[in-house]
Structure 1
Amino acid sequence: FTPDAIALLASLADHAAVAIDSARRLDETRTALARLEAANATARAHSEALHLASDAHDRLSKLVLRGAGTDEVAAEIAALLGGGVAVHDTDGSELARVGTAPVTPSPGGLAASRTEGRAVRADGVWTCAVLAGAEPLGSIVLTGRGDLSEADRRLFERSALVTAMLLLIRRSVAETEDRVRGELLDDLLADPAASAHRDPGSLTLRARRLGVDLARPHAVAIVDCEPALRSRLAAEATRVVRGLGGLAGTRQGRTVLLVPCDRARTLAQDLAAGLARGIGAPVTVGTAGPATAPDRHAALHTEALRCLTALHALGRTGEGADVAALGFIGVLLGDRADIAAHVDRVLGPVLAYDAERGTELVRTLHAYYDQGASLARAKDALHVHVNT
């Protein structure tokens, strides 16, 4: 090739190099622009998600600050997320439910949510722990939704924060109310003779403001369990007695309840069984009453405490009873050694039968027990056949 041809080819190669470099830079610019547009779209979506979450948080917070209950907040969360919502307490009891059948949080999902601090999908539902710092307050379950977008997931987690605020407010109110109820219970159980300024009318008015009608018959119950679980028992007993329309407090390290009822023994048995399930350990309950006069409650408290002490002494820990259920020991423990009433309650039908028909059933009983509850020896002492 001639020098001119070689120079021309070299010149063309230089032009080709410039064209190739320009095309490469143009392609890189286009790629960068596409990435920038994608980043802008992500930023816009993230901004919209934050805006939606913030707006939902404001709406839910205003509901709480306006005094809305758990039902209203759950309904708002369900509307925002387009699914069914159930709110549960720390013990798994349902506080509110909207748009879904009864559902319980998945134990594994709830544990993962507490650890990660995020909403978790498990067993076909979304679960988000309701936390105040590291303290668990309950949980929210979302049903009817498959995968949640990041915006909806963030919204669900914001809802848990608002629910935590609501439950904290409720707990604060409950603690204040429990303190007031405990003070009233202390005044009701105080010895009337030692309380010179005790005014029954004032106590009745204070009770009425708390929704307690002292005109109804009330029994006093003292509940007890192993020392390590007493604080938990006090919380569970307070929750139960609030539902029964009574009062709860602590005296001498034991939880004392004033509960409206007609039969103290039935109350004791129900409380022993229900509270034992609640704390997962045996609960012993001694009761006394019922009585309608507020000045009788102090005496009922003393009798209930004696009953509880007797249950422990008799090896009947984990049971519930009143003094009457303890038989003659109950008579000895009672404030009034009403032996005649005890005899009438136990032997009344037999005595009445003998008086009406001229029989000797009481003599038969004497002989039976005198002979050590032996039918063979008793029939010899009575000169009758063993079948008789």
Structure 2
Amino acid sequence: MRTVLDLLRLLADRADGDAGSGELDRAVAELAASEPEAGALALRVRAGMDAGRRRESELAALVGIARDLASEVDPGSVLHAIVRRARALLGTDVAYLTLYDPARGDTFMRVTSGSVSHRFQTLRLPLGAGLGGLVAASRTPHWTGRYAGDDRYRHTDEIDTAVAEEGIVGICGTPLLVDDEFMGVLFAANRSARPFTPEDVALLGSLAALAAVSLVQTRRLADTAATLRELRGAHAAIAEAADAHDRFAGVVLEGGDVGDIAEALGRLLGGWVAVLDADGAPAAAHGPVPPGLDTAAAVRRAGEPDGAGRPVAVPGQRGVRAAAVVAGGQRLGTLVLGGPGDELSPAQVRTVERAVVVTALVLLFAQRADETDRLDRADALAELLAAPAEPRPATLTRLGALGVSARRPHVLLVCRCHPARRRALAREAAVLGGRSGLVAEQDGAVVVLLPGDDPAAAGARLARPAPEQDPDAAVTVGGAGPLRPADGAATALAEARRTAEALVALEREGECASASELGFAGLLLGERPDVAGYVRGVLGPVAEHDERRGSELLRTLEAYYAAGASPTRAATALHVHVNTVAQRLDRVATLLGPGWQEPDRGLELQLALRLHRLGAPGRKETP
């Protein structure tokens, strides 16, 4: 029979880890049979020792878990590790973790271990619903040995169906809290009616606390890493933008223009670039600019507040961006680009912004230079037009310095348009003349001197009628020439001005003509009327027929008009048969073309016949 001393020896050996539990259990049983009170005390000592060992084991496990979690940097890996350790330590069938969704105000299943039901693995728990929902709402642990019949919890069909499909009977849940911040719920569950002890709940709570802290740390580490990546990216973007700025500055210092900037930007971005001027017209380009590019839409989009100086997406044109080039509040142009991708990186955005700034400087310098050149050319033209006869040698020297050959043929144009369109028309004329033309605004008109000998052809490039939707867009052009600037231009100016005024008076706005083209009106307007040329232009085919065939078509035409357009009376005056007059008039119609008997054409013919008769010595007027 075991004595009390033997039992104490076995308990001491057990505490040291030397005695097996089987021998100790037999000794306690024998002592309890002979000495019940001593046996009960021995059982209490044995239970206390086992609880201490179990607590020591759990603490060692928690320390190991903490060490393992500290090595994890991925939040997903941390959550999986927590759930696996919870299931292993508590010895449950299933363990799972839900996270709080502040946007929806509920918790959702994030990680499971031991689960087999897809419905259960995708479950969401509204606050206050089910055991987990109550844990989330109350921020306190809850557990039950039989969830299905426990009326302490608000059951829902969705939750109950998922729990039943998983086969779960008992559930224990404890909140994940860090500084009163609720992050989720950690669960342990069994598929049998095994109750959870306070020790189980405490252990799960310790795991939840450790999990919450680890989760916050990993999130902060991830945020810190993301911030560092952003800082490195920002630093790289700044360095790249600075390099781009140096390249653009080098282009400017080497005397480059907007075309060189477009090329540099296109190479940096790996795409195409188009530069539009202040009017939206193409000024330069690099790369394969799409043929169907809607430049008007790009200009409009860049003109919005967010498009000044930075690239903005153009609606309806995938991958196309536009940026307004602005200096001193003045819109100088637009940069349009595409090709590097659907989105620009921060570094690429800064590169475009640098390109916009440098483009603004180049355009501003060019504008100032063009303005200076325009003023020089306008002054030189005004000086030429003011000379009453031959210009002074100094004037001719000035013209030569501006690229105008004073001894070659030129034409002079006087262009009339709405006052608001005058500056735009002057710019257009300057582009037309290039380095060999002169443009000036004078007496409410735009005066243009261009090399050439055909004022009508030159003026046709500037004249335009007004469309119905824009009645102020008409440009009327009167031309004179050819002339040599060395001989003076005052006479040609007066003639071109009168021609433009005559076109307006004749309600022919939007057209171009010279004095010779206005018919008899041109004879009245011209300083040097070409009577022979006018007669030849009106009657040339008929006169040539008379000279070649010895016919009398001109005489018949004179008699016809003198008789009030009556073939019978004309035949009487000519002493021929009326059929002869009819045949001759048919021939005139063939030579002059249809419409020769219309009032305006008839007036021109009668005037030309009168001038022809006056210019032919020895001829007598037809009675």
Q: TM-score range with shorter-chain normalisation?
A: 0.7 to 0.9
CA RMSD of aligned residues (A): 3.3
Report what 2:191 is aligned to: none
**Distance across 2 between alignment mates of 1:19 and 1:101:** 62
1:149 corresponds to: 345
Aligned amino acid, residue 129 of structure 1:
A
Contact 1:86 1:100 in 2 (8 A): no
Displacement of 1:48 in angstroms is 1.1
The alpha-carbon deviation at position 381 of structure 1 amounts to 4.6
The match for 1:214 among 406, 423, 428 is 406
The farther-off stretch of 156-165 and 106-115 is 106-115
**Matched residue, 1:81:** 269
1:38–1:346 CA distance, 2 compared to 1 (3 A): same
* 8 Å contact kept, 1:113–1:129: yes
Q: How many residues align structurally?
A: 381
Match of 1:329 in 2: 521
| CA distance in 2 between partners of 1:306 and 1:295 (Å) | 20
SS of the equivalent of 1:271 reads coil
1:151 is aligned with what amino acid?
A
- Report the alpha carbon displacement of residue 375 of structure 1 after superposing the two structures with TM: 5.2
Aligned to 2:450: 259
**Using the alignment, how far apart are the partners of 1:274 and 1:259 within structure 2?**
22
**AA partner of residue 47 (structure 1):** H
AA partner of residue 302 (structure 2): S
CA distance in 1, matches of 2:569, 2:319: 72
Deviations 1:175-202 (A, max 9, x none): 1110111111111111335x9xx523x3
- The alpha-carbon deviation at position 151 of structure 1 amounts to 1.9
1:188 aligns with 2:381: no
In 1, Cα distance between equivalents of 2:424 and 2:286: 30
Structure 1 unaligned blocks of 5 or more? none
Residue number among 269, 283, 304 corresponding to 2:460 in the alignment? 269
Distance 1:248 1:275 in 2: 23
Matches for 1:83-102 after TM superposition, within 5 Å: 83-101=271-289
Residue of structure 2 in register with 1:136 after alignment? 331
Give the whole-Å Cα distance in 2 for the aligned partners of 1:274 and 1:180: 31
Tell me the TM-score normalized by structure 1: 0.85
Task: Report the alpha carbon displacement of residue 204 of structure 1 after superposing the two structures with TM.
Answer: 3.0
Name the SS of the counterpart of 1:63 in structure 2: helix
Matches of 1:328 and 1:322, distance apart in 2 = 12
Equivalence for 1:309: 501
| Aligned mates of 1:130, 1:177 — CA distance in 2 | 26
Which of 239, 243, 264 is equivalent to 1:55? 243
Alignment partner of 1:199 out of 375, 392, 408? 392
Bigger relative contact order (CA 8 A; separation at least 6): 1
Q: Residues 290 and 106 from structure 1, CA distance in 2 versus in 1: closer, same or farther, beyond 3 angstroms?
A: closer
* Higher mean displacement: 362-371 or 339-348: 339-348
Cα deviations by residue, 1:134-169 (Å, 9 ceiling, x for unpaired): 533222222333222232233223322222222111
Distance 1:335 1:242 in 2: 29
Residue equivalent to 2:8 = none
Does the C-alpha gap of structure 1 residues 36 and 287 become closer, same or farther in structure 2, counting only changes over 3 Å? same
Report the CA distance shift for 1:274/1:234 in structure 2 as closer, same or farther (over 3 A): farther
Distance 1:216 1:373, change over 3 A: farther
The separation in 1 between residues aligned to 2:463 and 2:261, in whole angstroms, is 35
Measured after TM superposition, the shift of residue 273 of structure 1 is 3.8
Displacement, 1:283? 1.0
Whole-angstrom distance in 2 between the partners of 1:144 and 1:153: 14
**Contact 1:219–1:260 (8 Å) recurs in 2:** yes
Q: Which amino acid aligns with 1:46?
A: A
Q: Structure 1, residues 259-313: CA drift from partner, whole Å, max 9, x if none?
A: 111211222223214999xx98221000100112423311111110111111111
Mapping of 1:1-388 within 5 angstroms?
A: 21=209, 24-101=212-289, 103=291, 104-115=293-304, 116-117=306-307, 118-122=310-314, 123-133=317-327, 134-147=329-342, 148-192=344-388, 198-200=391-393, 202-242=394-434, 245-273=436-464, 281-347=473-539, 350-351=542-543, 353-355=545-547, 357-373=549-565, 378-379=570-571, 381-382=573-574, 383=576, 384-385=578-579, 386-388=582-584
Cα separation, partners in 2 of 1:372 and 1:71, compared to 1, 3 Å: farther
Amino acid at match of 1:112: R
Q: Distance in 1 between matches of 2:363 and 2:222?
A: 47
For the residue of structure 1 that corresponds to 2:453, the secondary structure is coil
Amino acid at match of 1:136: R
Following superposition, the deviation at residue 372 of structure 1 comes to 4.2
Distance change (3 Å), C-alpha of 1:380 and 1:146? farther
Tell me if structure 1 keeps the 8 A contact 2:408–2:484. Answer: yes
* Distance (whole Å) between structure 2 residues aligned to residue 161 and residue 129 of structure 1: 11
CA deviation after TM superposition for structure 1 residue 21, in Å: 4.7
1:355 is displaced (CA, Å) by 4.8
Alpha-carbon displacement from aligned partner over 1:227-272 (angstroms, at most 9, x marks no partner): 33223322322332327x3110111121000011121122222321
Cα distance in 1 between the residues matched to 2:387 and 2:240? 60
- The structure-2 alpha-carbon separation of the partners of 1:145 and 1:20, relative to structure 1 and needing over 3 Å to count, comes to closer
- Cα contact 1:129–1:160 (8 A) shared by 2: yes
Distance in 1 between residues matched to 2:339 and 2:573, nearest whole Å: 80
Aligned partners of 1:2, 1:378: CA distance in 2, in Å? 156
Residues in 1 aligned to 2:401 and 2:44: alpha-carbon distance in whole angstroms: 116
Residue 380 to residue 295, structure 1, CA distance change in 2 (3 Å): same
Q: 1:369 to 1:58 in 2, by over 3 A?
A: farther
CA shift in 2, pair 1:284/1:54, >3 Å: same
Q: State the alpha-carbon separation in 1 of the partners of residues 451 and 465 from structure 2.
A: 17
Task: Assess if the C-alpha contact under 8 Å between 1:105 and 1:127 holds in 2.
Answer: no
SS of the residue 1:256 aligns to: strand
Query: Which structure is higher in helix share?
Result: 1
CA shift digits 1:59-114 (9 cap, x unpaired): 11221232102222211111101112222223332222222145434433432232
Aligned partners of 2:557 and 2:332: how far apart in 1? 61
Structure 2 segments unaligned to the other structure (5+ residues): 1-42, 60-198, 585-623
